[in-house]
Structure 1
């Protein structure tokens, strides 16, 4: 039962959807196995019963570091069914980070695969037990070995909307991971906004190309439950899976710049044959996009183009475009604030700036986390009005459209002058032979830092020298001092599984 001020929880939404469209396919894995909503509900109850037999119940804290497959999506719902507090962990994190997360979040049970992706998670788990006496470990058995028991506890929804149900950790590309406490209401509010912006419906098929343990994975779970759509689950993202994605009837392709660029690369190899014939739009978020990407998607992949949003672990999808927005807005902005969300731009002193002025992006509203596990972080992360200081730079125009211009920490300081890495990246990304680019500040005795452009070329294209690059950047409107002073061509730019460039790793390679 719900109290008068309580909206349905994620489990109650799942339960309702499974009753509304029980025979509709909900989940499909890369091997062709499918689950209808009715199948999903039955599996969830079975897994919940099994977890209950392991001592898991309401408010138990359960971390899970599982691949993006049918079992992980079932586990998430089963833990919702039991009222547990979930701590999803990104698969690429290892012993130091996983141990830190389990200690800080006071995890009762850690669910791991055995060996996956060439890494022995079970062995890592055993090592963690030596340093955390309160932690229990469970290597996930095969689905056929999951036995339910009689007496599954009745589901009781928490009375308070701000009840913590999730602890999501940042990926830690620039600093140690931070645990953000979230409630179901934040996840569902974000999902409602995304369903409306993308006009998602039961006919849509969406590939889960990034780790399901990312907050975006759970938001997509909620979104597809709300609209009755279908998810295609991919354990690892690779070009050899695009044919199966097309066969599944992908209609909304995500989920960020690096994924979209991979689609474009393959589409250019077969220009006469649409890669995804049913594509309505591509989605972005989690990393910045070059302004020409929207037109490339619309022209080459099809649909309305690139519909991106802005958010982070602490506040998923604060702003987002819609499938009905004009091309110039879709190309250059991350949309406008989603329903209920507030966005402001402030200077270094925290003072609100006017439209058109660049400053730090600050966020407030129903999608925002309830704070960090480490309460000390809240003191500097939130301002006196309750806004989260994002650490990102941006501009709001007079109509509320947000353009992200870079990171506060992603500024190259050359001879005391600040250079925006993103501004340089956007200029180079428009070059016809450039497939991907990132710009990194490299230490230099004379200048303090210099800008190094790390470039992946389009297939079959030849590179250029530093002088040619500088001339092109000047033509794109960069100042002379903003032009890169070093260039490196690579086959691949290092990214984490969420698609974000890991600049610290890249910097280490450049300075080795």
Structure 2
């Protein structure tokens, strides 16, 4: 991290970070969207006016404000206005509906709820009213407004919990994850330290700003003084015009994003998809080594992948100067201040970027060990050089006849098969074996239909042990994915195929 970024990273609160960057670079852009832009100075001044408008509505330090908004400049302004007031904000992913939204509003005891009105054909205002939400107000093109002279001093303490993020409740209710300004600043500083951007870079936020990656990425912009293009809706090839128009140099999001960019690149081999692009970066889902090598070879860019979660937005990250082997096969190294402990193969974490726990004290007690390390549920090991290799999740370990089988190992091998576009491996209940290994694959257009014999023969040729070979194959048009970082929802595959016999 350069000296300026390091000094800014010592800011106690997010609002202090905004103020310092506004003094240093008032005329430089921070957000670009379509034909609009917002400078660092405007971010500070307009957020203060929005904060004054919210203050007039009754929002104070400690007031819980939920918001379910798309990735827009206005969303960032509202979020920083709430940070200016010291309110407790709980972002909700805009694709979530009654169950998840209602749960978040109840558990957080939200006193206000900002919604976009009708967005992408769905009436969020009606949803809020149906759920009996308090203090509902619409934010899209218009924002609350007022005279900053009415505002009290900004908060000075960055260690108070002012953020409640939500884990993706797949088979049970979501968990409310508690963060402070300091934990979010630490996460963004970790990301910046790994990627080493410059003031000449142009980043991109193509995922929901309500995701934990929203502040993670924005902190990096504030530390290094460069802008990011916001995409309210990400789809290819439509979004390519925005990347090209603004000269994006750093893009990404997750493994699914890499695959989508690569698929577009293959439509015109040899013609660079985004001429200015130099780096794809992301995390949130496993990255097959074969995909990494294909992206680097065919797109002519670097690819650095990392490891994070709602509880710890930045844990490890590949660095541009890592070896090709480390970039392809590991999740990178932890930054200074992030402690990794391995207990029976489980990754445990301690550091400033780690959340302060959960809304439910019982969940907090269960999640942290006696030394204050967060139990992640992920399995892995560290290389001699300190790079983290993830081998799967505890719940992704398939126990077949008493033998542990890593779903991740089989998935990485399946991605090498030319007739496999994407793959997920799950364990299904089996009365004789305890669990059987089921491979679920997507195939690229024009590929010959796969058979179980062909798959097992290929895996044997790649050196997979016989006891790990899949006993079942399912070919699907599309794997079920979440709406945020497009992670495969394995619980849906288990539900879909557990009750059927082949």
**TM-score of the superposition, structure 1-length normalised?**
0.91
Following TM superposition, by how much is the alpha carbon of 1:119 offset from its aligned partner in structure 2, in angstroms?
Answer: 2.0
1:74 is aligned to 77
1:483 is aligned to 469
1:505 aligns with 2:492: yes
2:300 is aligned to 302
Q: Choose from 433, 439, 442 the match for 2:419.
A: 433
Q: Choose from 172, 175, 178 the match for 1:178.
A: 175
Matches within 5 A, 1:264-275: 264-275=262-273
Conservation of the 8 A alpha-carbon contact between 1:311 and 1:319: yes
1:37 is aligned to 40
Q: Choose from 9, 25, 30 the match for 2:29.
A: 25
2:15 is aligned to 11
Conservation of the 8 A alpha-carbon contact between 1:83 and 1:155: no
Q: Choose from 222, 235, 238 the match for 1:238.
A: 235
Following TM superposition, by how much is the alpha carbon of 1:443 offset from its aligned partner in structure 2, in angstroms?
Answer: 3.1
| In 2, Cα distance between equivalents of 1:91 and 1:150 | 29
1:64 is aligned to 67
| In 1, Cα distance between equivalents of 2:140 and 2:273 | 36
| In 2, Cα distance between equivalents of 1:77 and 1:487 | 48
| Structure 2: unaligned runs, 5 residues or longer | 1-9
Matches within 5 A, 1:196-211: 196-211=193-208
1:387-423 residue CA offsets vs partner (Å, 9 max, x unmatched): 0000111111233211010010112233333221111
1:424 aligns with 2:404: no
Following TM superposition, by how much is the alpha carbon of 1:141 offset from its aligned partner in structure 2, in angstroms?
Answer: 5.5
| In 2, Cα distance between equivalents of 1:127 and 1:404 | 42
Conservation of the 8 A alpha-carbon contact between 1:293 and 1:306: no
| In 2, Cα distance between equivalents of 1:316 and 1:40 | 23
1:495 is aligned to 481
Q: Choose from 90, 111, 129 the match for 1:108.
A: 111
Conservation of the 8 A alpha-carbon contact between 2:330 and 2:387: yes
Residue 173 to residue 281, structure 1, CA distance change in 2 (3 Å): farther
1:330 is aligned to 327
Q: Helix, strand or coil: the match of 1:42?
A: helix
1:470 is aligned to 456
1:353 is aligned to none
1:96-124 residue CA offsets vs partner (Å, 9 max, x unmatched): 22222122222111111112123221111
Following TM superposition, by how much is the alpha carbon of 1:247 offset from its aligned partner in structure 2, in angstroms?
Answer: 2.4
1:48 aligns with 2:51: yes
| In 2, Cα distance between equivalents of 1:18 and 1:463 | 57
Conservation of the 8 A alpha-carbon contact between 2:11 and 2:17: no
Following TM superposition, by how much is the alpha carbon of 1:429 offset from its aligned partner in structure 2, in angstroms?
Answer: 0.7
Conservation of the 8 A alpha-carbon contact between 2:186 and 2:353: yes
Residue 41 to residue 476, structure 1, CA distance change in 2 (3 Å): same
Conservation of the 8 A alpha-carbon contact between 2:188 and 2:314: no
Q: Helix, strand or coil: the match of 1:337?
A: coil
| In 2, Cα distance between equivalents of 1:8 and 1:16 | 11
2:214 is aligned to 217
RMSD after superposition:
1.8
1:2-48 residue CA offsets vs partner (Å, 9 max, x unmatched): xxxx843111111221222222222112x322222233233212211
1:106-145 residue CA offsets vs partner (Å, 9 max, x unmatched): 211111111212322111101221xx6xx322222632x6
Q: Choose from 92, 95, 98 the match for 2:95.
A: 92
Conservation of the 8 A alpha-carbon contact between 1:48 and 1:152: no
Q: Helix, strand or coil: the match of 1:409?
A: helix
1:251 is aligned to 249
Following TM superposition, by how much is the alpha carbon of 1:282 offset from its aligned partner in structure 2, in angstroms?
Answer: 1.2
1:405-450 residue CA offsets vs partner (Å, 9 max, x unmatched): 0010112233333221111101101112322111122334443332
Conservation of the 8 A alpha-carbon contact between 2:183 and 2:352: yes
| In 1, Cα distance between equivalents of 2:401 and 2:173 | 29
When the two structures are aligned, how many residues end up with a matched partner? Answer: 488
Following TM superposition, by how much is the alpha carbon of 1:228 offset from its aligned partner in structure 2, in angstroms?
Answer: 1.1
Following TM superposition, by how much is the alpha carbon of 1:73 offset from its aligned partner in structure 2, in angstroms?
Answer: 1.0
| In 2, Cα distance between equivalents of 1:328 and 1:62 | 45
1:190 is aligned to 187
Worse overlay, 292-301 or 204-213: 292-301
1:288-340 residue CA offsets vs partner (Å, 9 max, x unmatched): 1111222122111223x221111211111111121111111111111111110
Following TM superposition, by how much is the alpha carbon of 1:150 offset from its aligned partner in structure 2, in angstroms?
Answer: 5.8
Q: Choose from 416, 421, 436 the match for 1:450.
A: 436
Conservation of the 8 A alpha-carbon contact between 1:167 and 1:182: yes
**TM-score of the superposition, structure 2-length normalised?**
0.93
Q: Helix, strand or coil: the match of 1:66?
A: coil
| Structure 1: unaligned runs, 5 residues or longer | 1-5, 348-358
